[in-house]
Amino acid sequence: MRILISPNAMKGSMTASEFANAIAEGLSLANPEFELVLRPLADGGDGTSEVLVNSLKGRFVPVEVTDPLGRKVNSRFGWLEKSECAIVEMAEASGLKMLALNELDPMVASSRGTGELINYAIELGAKKIILGIGGSATVDGGIGMLKALGYKLLDSSGEDVPEGGQGLIRVAHIDSEEVNSNLLNCEIVIASDVVNPIFGDDGGISVYGPQKGATPQMIEDLTIGFENYLTVLEKTSGKALHAMIGGGAAGGIAIPLIALLNARIVNGAETIMETLGIINELKTCDLVITGEGRVDLQTANGKGAAAVAKEAHKAGIPVLAIGGIVKPEVSSIFNGVFSITNGPCDLDYAMKNSHSLTKSLSMELGNLINAIYK
């Protein structure tokens, strides 16, 4: 039996590669003759650069950037020499993982570090940038990023606007005279698993703002600020932006990239699956196993595991999902959904022992597969 193993990362516990290896170890214990094809997956969030760099034999470039609160930190981006393509993760410079809970404040958190990563990639000669925007700590509409890229964002008095969400309401003019021409000629592909617009009850401000520390008053202020900011961007670019699909991802950072740099936003999981050849690979397999940390309703909304399942179903191949936490509402997406915890246990225990738990579960799944397909 040929089995494709293609999970996303189990955030906080295992990378996608570690997750795939744990599944493979368990299946091999059940049947050493299983033909296992490991294709770790990402969807634009944490771990995207690792998956692409490792799978496509690239390398990481270490750099120093500014974190969301203006502190200097060590970061990196992926580099694919042959294709002159950089893989930039917003989370590596402007991510939630860089802040303590008591530091979360979308009114001041800046995306400047993401702009700095893009600058480094351009200096290295990037002709294409794949920008993964998951896991951000910002709701600044990319103001900090634009400043790092050479744009001037001025208020009605001609003064620089402050960074963070507080600057949105003050933007009156955007000047691009000092922007690097190489940036203007670079293809930018935004990999995202979010389809929310920026405004409304299902908008990025309302849905994701609280995760980044936004209070109800902040959400109201950010909404007013984005109304102003997008009006200026629309006048500058001539593009309709207020209802843009995916505009709510990562605090609105995709909006100015599409408005000013002709970037395009794509489904992260589907694009990465295609880039890594996963879609063609699964057609040669008898079973697909995928997974992520939480297999729930958010999984169905563009996450990697759901994208794998969609392609598997198209090919008529059964697909199983493994997660730390699983919810019954996603049972229709997969042919089987399994939790690595086989009884009550606390989150800390499950995260610390995720590899061994995944290995044990996978061995049991292997035994079941042996019984069914003997």
**pLDDT per residue as tens, the chain (374 positions):** 999 999 998 887 899 999 999 999 999 999 999 999 999 998 888 788 999 998 899 999 999 999 999 999 999 999 999 999 999 999 999 999 999 999 999 999 999 999 999 999 999 999 999 999 988 999 999 999 999 999 999 999 999 999 999 999 999 999 999 999 899 999 999 999 888 999 999 999 999 999 999 999 999 999 999 999 999 999 999 999 999 999 999 999 999 999 999 899 998 888 888 888 888 888 899 999 999 887 776 776 667 888 899 999 999 999 999 988 887 777 788 988 898 887 667 778 778 889 999 999 999 999 999 998 77
Residue-level length of the chain: 374
Sort strands 85-89 and 72-80 into parallel, antiparallel or unpaired. antiparallel
Structure confidence at residue 318 (pLDDT):
95
Residue 152 exposed, middle or buried by CB count within 10 Å (0-12, 13-18, 19+): middle
CA 77 to CA 49: how far, in whole Å? 7
Structure confidence at residue 297 (pLDDT):
67
Taking a C-beta distance cutoff of 8 angstroms, is the pair 64, 75 a contact? yes
CA 269 to CA 302: how far, in whole Å? 7
CA 294 to CA 298: how far, in whole Å? 8
CA distance to 249, 276, 292, 303, 326, per residue, from 298 (Å): 14, 23, 11, 7, 11
CATH classification number, 2-41+277-373, choose in 3.40.640.10, 3.40.50.10350, 3.40.50.720, 3.10.450.50: 3.40.50.10350
pTM for the model stands at: 0.87
Structure confidence at residue 301 (pLDDT):
64
Segments of the chain assigned to CATH 3.90.1510.10: 48-269
Q: How far apart are the first and last CA of the chain?
A: 10
CATH 3.90.1510.10, applies to 48-269:
yes
CA 260 to CA 234: how far, in whole Å? 10
State the sign of the Cα–Cα–Cα–Cα dihedral 51, 54, 55, 61: positive
Sort strands 59-66 and 72-80 into parallel, antiparallel or unpaired. antiparallel
